[in-house]
Amino acid sequence: MNAAAPLPTFAPMPDAQGFFGPYGGQLVPPHLKQAMDAINAAYAEITRRQDFQDELAQLFADYVGRPSPIFHARRLSQQLGGAQIHLKREDLNHTGAHKINHCLGEALLAKFMGKKKVIAETGAGQHGVALATACALVGIPCEIHMGQVDIEKEHPNVTKMRILGCKLVPVTRGAATLKEAVDSAFEEYLSNPTDYLYAIGSVVGPHPFPMMVRDFQSIIGREAREQFQAKHGRLPDYVAACVGGGSNAIGMFTAFLNDASVKLVGVEPAGEGTDKPGRHAATLTMGQPGEIHGMKCYVLEDADGQPAAVHSIASGLDYPGIGPQHSYLKDLGRAQYATADDQETLGAFMQLSRVEGIIPALESAHAVAWAMRVAPTLPADCHILVNLSGRGDKDADYVAEKLGL
């Protein structure tokens, strides 16, 4: 399809120290590094075991409902008049998004490691619900730390976590939102790292988390590559996904890294505009290399060098850091990172709902918005595969109110 220069073959990443080129690593105090190294060793040993692989594959199939289909959005493509848009339907997974993939992996890992409790923080509650679900299934106690401010805002997710039987720990210190919840959850974890497992919600944090979460999510791209090839006898020209921390995107990209003809596009939230500091979360587009949450990666910083305030209409995308592997893929030029703002995202949310009968998560609608913007500029035999990371039930009331529906 295109005459792009041959790409280097991508060696397995990260290296033994957890680096993706200059990014990643373990920028943590020694006692935490020790705990991370223990997780890394157990991960290497356990994920090689056939009984672990078999159990995870079975749960992906019978519990999550994998493989998720690829849907050719014919009416949308026709309406736009250009490239063909296809959707990888992670929105059809049990619990409605891709997060269940790595949460099941982490919960099962905890069980195989003989852990007595899984601990995590949650912001809007999506990670908390997915993890509480996985822990209920696997039969391991789950403890979620959540800022009091977020608890009051995210009623349905809080209720679901309670129903699922996890212990919800309200965090009232400081601003009582995600940052304080992270601190609180880490303190609890470090009180007994032998018996507890910390479960990070994206491809971020110290090694081995960016690698582990990627590996569990890479089922998305493995399925998609095979499904697309079987259906169309070729690979897509573009593969696109929204980027918060980067887990659904890297899960989609990994299988295509060595396919030189496939362009990889991550779509960041431009919020109210990338020219408005604090009102977007376009980390790779507007940030620079730095450190956050135990890793080196691109970071959005304020004038004092602190992680910047961020905003997106999609609460799952408002993070001032980004996975280390995305940071490296950007520098290598292997993936491109574009943006979609709140308005364009709302438009895509509505158009996909009305033309295809699929209500996307506002996070996923960023990737759809990008595809809808470029499709008219491309020929009809060009194929764009978009990872539809989740469904929009959680966003329906908000959007209806916002648009006066």
Ligand X SMILES: *Cc1c(COP(=O)(O)O)cnc(C)c1O
Three-state DSSP class for residue 45: helix
Alpha carbon distances (Å) from 343 to 26, 33, 77, 110, 272: 37, 42, 20, 41, 8
Decide if residue 363 touches ligand X (CB under 6 A).
yes
User: Scanning the structure block, which residue is given the tokens 């209409």?
Assistant: 313
Decide if residue 325 touches ligand X (CB under 6 A).
no
- Give me the catalytic one of 77, 90, 99, 356: 99
**389 catalytic, yes or no?**
yes
Instruction: Give the torsion sign (CA, 278, 281, 285, 288).
Output: positive
Calpha distance 258→167 (Å, rounded): 43
Beta bridge partners of 388: 89
Binding segment (CB under 6 A) for ligand X, from list 153-161, 227-235, 237-245, 346-354: 237-245
Decide if residue 254 touches ligand X (CB under 6 A).
no
Decide if residue 358 touches ligand X (CB under 6 A).
no
Near ligand X by CB under 6 A: residue from 77, 93, 122, 126: 126
Decide if residue 214 touches ligand X (CB under 6 A).
no
Alpha carbon distances (Å) from 357 to 91, 244, 351, 353: 13, 25, 9, 5
Binding segment (CB under 6 A) for ligand X, from list 77-85, 166-174, 242-250, 338-346: 242-250
State the residue number with the nearest CB to ligand X: 390
* CB nearer ligand X, residue 193 or residue 388: 388
- Give me the catalytic one of 121, 143, 223, 344: 121
Binding segment (CB under 6 A) for ligand X, from list 18-26, 47-55, 108-116, 243-251: 243-251
Near ligand X by CB under 6 A: residue from 181, 212, 265, 361: 361
Decide if residue 248 touches ligand X (CB under 6 A).
yes
Q: SS3 sequence, 311-364?
A: CCCCHHHCCCCCCHHHHHHHHHCCEEEEEEEHHHHHHHHHHHHHHHCCCECHHH
Please give the helix or strand (H or E) that residue 145 lies within, else none.
strand 142-147
Interacting residues of 89 by C-beta distance below 8 A, sequence separation 6+: 68, 69, 70, 71, 388
Spatial strand order in the sheet of 19-20: 19-20, 23-24, 295-299, 288-292
* CB nearer ligand X, residue 68 or residue 247: 247
Decide if residue 99 touches ligand X (CB under 6 A).
yes
Decide if residue 244 touches ligand X (CB under 6 A).
yes
**99 catalytic, yes or no?**
yes
**Residues at the contact surface with ligand X, assessed by CB under 6 A:** 97, 99, 126, 202, 242-249, 316-317, 361, 363-364, 389-390
* Residues catalogued as catalytic: 99, 121, 389
